[in-house]
Amino acid sequence: MDGAASALGPAQLARLLGPWRVVGESGAHPARQALAERIRSLILDGRIAVGARLPAERPLSEALQVSRTTITAAYTLLVEQGYAVARRGSGTFTALPERLFARPTGGFHDYGDPDLLDLSCAGPAAPTAELRAATAWAAERLPLLAAGNSFRPYGLPEMREAIAERYTARGLPTSPDQILVTSGAQGAISLVARLLVRQGDRVLLEGPTFANVIDSFTASRARLYPVPLDETSGWLDGATGQMPLQQAASRLSPRLVYTIPHFHNPTGMLMPPEQAGRIARAARRAGAWLLADETITDIALDVPVPPPFATGVSPADAERLLVCGSLGKSFWGGIRVGWLRAPSRIVHELAAARASLDLASPVIDQLIGVAVLREGMGVEDDRRAESRAGRAVLEAALRESMPDWTWHTPPGGLSLWVQLAEGEESTQLVYRAGTHGLVLQSGPRFGPDPGTYERFLRVPYSQTPEVLREAVRRLVAARTALGPVRGSETRRDLVA
């Protein structure tokens, strides 16, 4: 991300800092140390962007009601620790130590170890009976299509119709020519990145966000600008009631805005429906495309299934709105069926652009998708019940084993976004967990700036209760092997 264009005002930083003075066993910590530590935590948590200019010392001292000497000393500590750089004549800018710039690898493994617990992907197991029935239904119809053209870049007509009918039944009238069938939602996102984003274009997205999306837009050489989600109010700034994503679109004039409005991955937050129109309006006025990812929309656990994002968007704003979805979370990720809902003219352009990527989605997968959507072979209710049970098991196990970890219970989705104890780093923990046969994704995988979100860990609950309890047991073992946290001043090396 190119964060140098952003600057923090004194009042803004003061609000982010909150009650930054801390008290230890031997009394109050020096103010300079406490202030530097709080700014460092905000950088690692993704609340302050890497490359942002910190306020000048005098205005910040007035905002915090401390001496200018304290501000100077805190900034000096940050520079010494690698969390800031001082540029003569320009100011002090946030940074990350070089050791944190080794970007974590993606969460895909093929160890061939039956004892390995892989929680790197928040995806459910296949529903055996329903999958068998849907596959049999599709196999009967496959020979009828064998004599025709095998490459259908728009998707099978039956699949496009089934997806359009699904949107219409949910209150959003949709025609098949607005639907492009893709190889999963990731296929849709990759197509959008390839067709609509050019080198150097600005892309706004939430901070944190879906890890594979970061990779897709990075491959297009876009400049990524994460807009932090508020810890309590999500897309709204808890103090001002404003929408930072909307403000950033107006200020930066991005090429594209990407959002996960329903049970956001990884935080699980749910965007109120009335905010959809505001974001779409801001994106259109900025001349940007808006891509809304509804992949997890069906996994509503404590609330009704949200209406389609586009239902709250005006016709004029909908001209620059793209929405992607898939069967990967509500049915099974092994069926590589996703889609993009967009204006028909964009569907035509995307269909042409995919020729160099994958030509078309597998016909058999699409037929299975038709069976799931049209023939009543879906398992949404079962998936929700399984997810509720898994969430309860995981939360209980974590509360018992790691009482110093915190999280907000998500109203839907497939994972917890867990904040670790002060001084812990999720990259180290995930590395050590791998030696105990547990694969997870660390917090930095969900931010464009390597090293951010180090105090966070995504833990999916889309597994059986037995697997989840064993995963927590191995996580405890990994944490114990790292030894006690020694404080923020002395950081452990990645490989212990």
Q: How far is residue 460's CA from residue 417's CA, in Å, rounded to a whole number?
A: 9
Burial class (CB in 10 A: 0-12, 13-18, 19+), 339: buried
Residue by residue, what is the 3-state secondary structure of 212-275?
Answer: HHHHHHHHCCCEEEEEECECCCECCCCCCCCCHHHHHHHHHCCCEEEECCCCCCCCCCCCCCHH
CA dihedral 436, 438, 440, 442 (to 10 degrees): -10
Q: Can you tell me whether residue 311 is helix, strand or coil?
A: helix
Q: Can you tell me whether residue 359 is helix, strand or coil?
A: coil
Please determine, for residue 26, whether its predicted confidence score (pLDDT) is greater than 50.
Answer: no
- What mean pLDDT comes out for the span 297-322? 95
What pairs with residue 438 in β-bridges? 117
Q: How far is residue 72's CA from residue 354's CA, in Å, rounded to a whole number?
A: 54
**In this predicted structure, which of 83-97, 100-114, 203-217, 224-238 has the lowest mean pLDDT?**
100-114
128-374 adopts what CATH topology?
A: Aspartate Aminotransferase; domain 2 (3.40.640)
CATH 3.90.1150.10 domain span(s) along the chain: 101-126+380-482
- What mean pLDDT comes out for the span 387-400? 97
The CA-based angle 113-114-120, given to 5 degrees, is 75
Please determine, for residue 2, whether its predicted confidence score (pLDDT) is greater than 50.
Answer: no
What pairs with residue 257 in β-bridges? 204, 290
Q: How far is residue 51's CA from residue 7's CA, in Å, rounded to a whole number?
A: 9
Q: Residue 372 in contact with residue 331, Cβ under 8 Å?
A: yes
Percent of the chain, pLDDT > 70? Answer: 90
407: CB partners within 8 A, 6+ apart: 395, 398, 416, 417, 418, 419
pLDDT for res 130: 92
Q: Tell me the per-residue pLDDT of 138-163, one tens digit each, with 9 for 90 and over.
A: 999 998 887 766 678 999 999 999 99
Q: How far is residue 184's CA from residue 138's CA, in Å, rounded to a whole number?
A: 18
pLDDT for res 6: 72
Q: How far is residue 223's CA from residue 138's CA, in Å, rounded to a whole number?
A: 43
Q: Write the DSSP assignment of 33-68 as a string of letters.
A: HHHHHHHHHHHHTTSS-TTPBPPPHHHHHHHHTS-H
Q: Tell me the per-residue pLDDT of 179-206, one tens digit each, with 9 for 90 and over.
A: 999 999 999 999 999 899 999 999 999 9
Label residue 23 by pLDDT band (50, 70, 90). very low
Q: How far is residue 292's CA from residue 298's CA, in Å, rounded to a whole number?
A: 14
- What mean pLDDT comes out for the span 471-491? 76
Please determine, for residue 106, whether its predicted confidence score (pLDDT) is greater than 50.
Answer: no
pLDDT for res 481: 87
Please determine, for residue 108, whether its predicted confidence score (pLDDT) is greater than 60.
Answer: no
Q: Residue 159 in contact with residue 182, Cβ under 8 Å?
A: no
pLDDT for res 423: 85
437: CB partners within 8 A, 6+ apart: 113, 115, 116, 117, 474
Q: Residue 464 in contact with residue 492, Cβ under 8 Å?
A: no
Please determine, for residue 346, whether its predicted confidence score (pLDDT) is greater than 90.
Answer: yes
Highest mean pLDDT among 103-107, 148-152, 475-479: 475-479
Q: How far is residue 442's CA from residue 412's CA, in Å, rounded to a whole number?
A: 21
Percent of the chain, pLDDT > 90? Answer: 58
Q: How far is residue 40's CA from residue 358's CA, in Å, rounded to a whole number?
A: 43
pTM: 0.80
Cis peptide before 266 (omega within 30 of 0): yes
Label residue 24 by pLDDT band (50, 70, 90). very low
Maximum Cα–Cα distance for the chain, whole Å? 81
pLDDT for res 244: 84
- What mean pLDDT comes out for the span 222-236? 85
- What mean pLDDT comes out for the span 238-245? 67
Label residue 230 by pLDDT band (50, 70, 90). confident
Averaged pLDDT score across all residues of the chain: 87
Please determine, for residue 127, whether its predicted confidence score (pLDDT) is greater than 80.
Answer: yes
Q: How far is CA 469 from the centre of its chain?
A: 25
96: CB partners within 8 A, 6+ apart: 43, 50, 82, 83, 449, 450, 451, 452
- What mean pLDDT comes out for the span 167-171? 95
101-126+380-482 adopts what CATH topology?
A: Aspartate Aminotransferase, domain 1 (3.90.1150)
* CB-based burial, 402-433: b 16+ in 10 Å, e otherwise: beebebeebbbbbbbbbbbeebbbbbbbbbbb
Q: CATH number for 3-95: choose from 1.20.120.80, 3.30.540.10, 1.10.10.10, 1.20.970.10.
A: 1.10.10.10
Label residue 241 by pLDDT band (50, 70, 90). low
Burial class (CB in 10 A: 0-12, 13-18, 19+), 98: exposed
More confident residue, 157 or 428: 157
**In this predicted structure, which of 14-23, 80-89, 317-326, 419-428 has the lowest mean pLDDT?**
14-23
pLDDT for res 495: 29
Closest CA to 35 of 2, 9, 1, 66: 66
pLDDT for res 261: 96
Label residue 240 by pLDDT band (50, 70, 90). low
User: Would you give the DSSP letter of residue 104?
Assistant: P
Q: Residue 421 in contact with residue 482, Cβ under 8 Å?
A: no
353: left (phi over 0), alpha (psi -120 to 50) or beta: alpha
Please determine, for residue 474, whether its predicted confidence score (pLDDT) is greater than 50.
Answer: yes
Q: Tell me the per-residue pLDDT of 27-80, one tens digit each, with 9 for 90 and over.
A: 445 888 889 988 988 887 777 888 889 999 999 999 999 999 999 999 998 998
CATH 1.10.10.10 domain span(s) along the chain: 3-95
CATH 3.40.640.10 domain span(s) along the chain: 128-374
Closest CA to 365 of 331, 328, 335, 333: 335
Cis peptide before 273 (omega within 30 of 0): no
User: Would you give the DSSP letter of residue 444?
Assistant: G
Please determine, for residue 103, whether its predicted confidence score (pLDDT) is greater than 60.
Answer: no
- What mean pLDDT comes out for the span 361-386? 90
More confident residue, 117 or 239: 117
pLDDT for res 151: 77
